[in-house]
Amino acid sequence: MERGLGSPVAKYYAYKTTEFVSFTAAIWILFVRSRGLSFAEVGALNSVWWLALVASEIPTGYLGDRLGRRSAMAFGTAIIAVSTVGMGLSSTFLQFAIVYGAWAVGQTFRSGSDDAWLYDLLAETDETQEFANVRGRATGIGLAIGAVTTLAGGIIADATNYSVTFFATAAVTALGIPILLSVSETKTAGSDFTPQTAIRVIREKLTQPPLRGFVVYFALLFGVVNMAYIFDQPIVRDVALDLGVPETAANTAVSASYAVFSLAAAAASYRAGWIRDHIGIRRWFFVVPILVAVAFGSLPLVGVLAFPAFIVARGVSNASLVLGNQYVNDHVDSAGRATVLSATGMLYSLAVIPFELAGGVVADAVSPSGALAAFGGVLLVGAGVLWVVDRPV
């Protein structure tokens, strides 16, 4: 496929950049906490997010297959841009819950359709083997640029207020809509793809090998690793203050750390194709639970170990998502691809809910670091059991 500036793949890169650019990533939880919410309430809000994802993943994936994946992505982008503005205007738990729910629905319009659309673009020129390379590079580029805006967001928050960063992010997100609409739609399943057909495809693909064990395994990894996203900002902020950073520069310090985390995640995502070719998907998914468990287990020991621990978590999370979607795409036909990817996304989201609810309670009772260490152990034990019972990859 042509890789010129006007090519579909180049426009995919541009779209992914607007998706990852965020002035709020490093101060999101700090903003919510500044409104007086406890860690348990933060965990509850994240559960609202995941519940909304669970409820809407399959219907929006089905619409992507039936009506057009590019159109579904553009609609979801519009919802997210509006929700981002709403986030900056929110101040109570109820308002945040409404915004989280709407934002999640917008995200589901993009999640399954995104990877299905790219895979089908590559299929038009028999280059589906390039999925991990293109997807990984797009994510890597987006995360690298996002690292710059993350740092800028902390500086803006310290200089003005948290809300301004959400408004700026919404403006950049909205740029993804004209980029998407400039690319022609790929082949969709059409009118013959009924809800009954969608259910049958999901049942056939996810209840038998090779995807059955893999989806369960990935859901466990996804659930535990995503806990880091509700604890890393407070942990890094506390470490920064302990190291002598003044209170007035704390948000900037967290943002600078987040920029490093994003660059590490960008490097891991960018090299996802290399990981697939030289390490292999099976070896990768065998090793990553061990890496995460060791990283999270180190957090209560020495405060500064939070930095390498969160670098590991970000790298593992982003590279695993690319490789996992390559694996699923390789085992699903074009008709129903977005639906199956959305169904797997639903299961991953469902797995996050109990971990974040329990993690919030444990963090309030012990500490955020203690919660991550405990659930790192849960991941290690659970992954070991799954390898014994049903080789997932």
DSSP structure class, residue 187: P
Cα–Cα distance measured from residue 237 to residue 245, given in angstroms and rounded to the nearest whole number? 9
Residue 285 has phi, psi (to 5 degrees) of -75, -15
Cα–Cα distance measured from residue 144 to residue 17, given in angstroms and rounded to the nearest whole number? 9
CA distances from 272 to 261, 266, 267, 269, 338 (A): 17, 10, 9, 5, 21
Residues 6+ apart with CB under 8 A from 329: 115, 116, 119, 128, 131, 337, 341
Token digits of residue 191: 């009118």
Cα–Cα distance measured from residue 269 to residue 149, given in angstroms and rounded to the nearest whole number? 18
> What burial letters (b/e) apply to 184-218, b meaning 16+ CB within 10 Å?
eebebbeeebeeebbeebbeebbeeeebebbbbbb
Token digits of residue 260: 């490093």
Token digits of residue 209: 């090998």
Cα–Cα distance measured from residue 382 to residue 155, given in angstroms and rounded to the nearest whole number? 40
Tokens 């319009």 belong to residue: 109
Cα–Cα distance measured from residue 346 to residue 61, given in angstroms and rounded to the nearest whole number? 10
Indicate left, alpha or beta for 126 from its phi (over 0: left) and psi (-120 to 50: alpha).
Answer: left
What is the identity of the amino acid at 361?
A: V
Helix-helix angle 228-242:368-389, to 10 degrees: 140
- pLDDT value at residue 3: 56
- pLDDT value at residue 1: 46
CA distances from 298 to 89, 244, 256, 257, 360 (A): 37, 22, 22, 18, 19
Tell me: cis bond preceding 300? Omega within 30 of 0 counts: no
Domains, the chain, in order of start with CATH, read 8-185+203-389 (1.20.1250.20)
Helix-helix angle 368-389:337-365, to 10 degrees: 140
Cα–Cα distance measured from residue 278 to residue 133, given in angstroms and rounded to the nearest whole number? 13
User: Is the CB of residue 339 less than 8 Å from the CB of residue 202?
Assistant: yes
Give me the helices (H) in 90-227, please.
93-123, 131-159, 162-174, 176-181, 195-206, 211-225
Closest by alpha carbon to 3, among 138, 188, 116? 138
Cα–Cα distance measured from residue 169 to residue 87, given in angstroms and rounded to the nearest whole number? 11
Number of C-beta neighbours around residue 274 at 10 A: 13
CA distances from 109 to 19, 119, 224, 232, 383 (A): 13, 16, 24, 27, 30
Closest by alpha carbon to 48, among 93, 109, 113? 93
pLDDT tens-place values along the chain, 393 residues long:
445 666 888 888 999 899 988 899 888 888 998 998 988 898 889 889 878 878 887 888 888 877 788 888 999 999 999 999 999 999 999 999 999 999 999 998 887 788 888 888 888 878 888 888 898 999 888 888 888 898 888 888 888 889 999 999 999 999 999 999 998 777 665 556 677 777 888 888 888 888 889 999 999 999 999 888 888 988 999 999 999 999 888 888 888 888 888 888 889 988 998 999 999 999 999 999 999 999 999 999 988 999 999 999 989 998 998 899 889 888 887 667 777 887 887 888 788 888 888 888 899 889 999 999 999 999 999 999 999 988 888
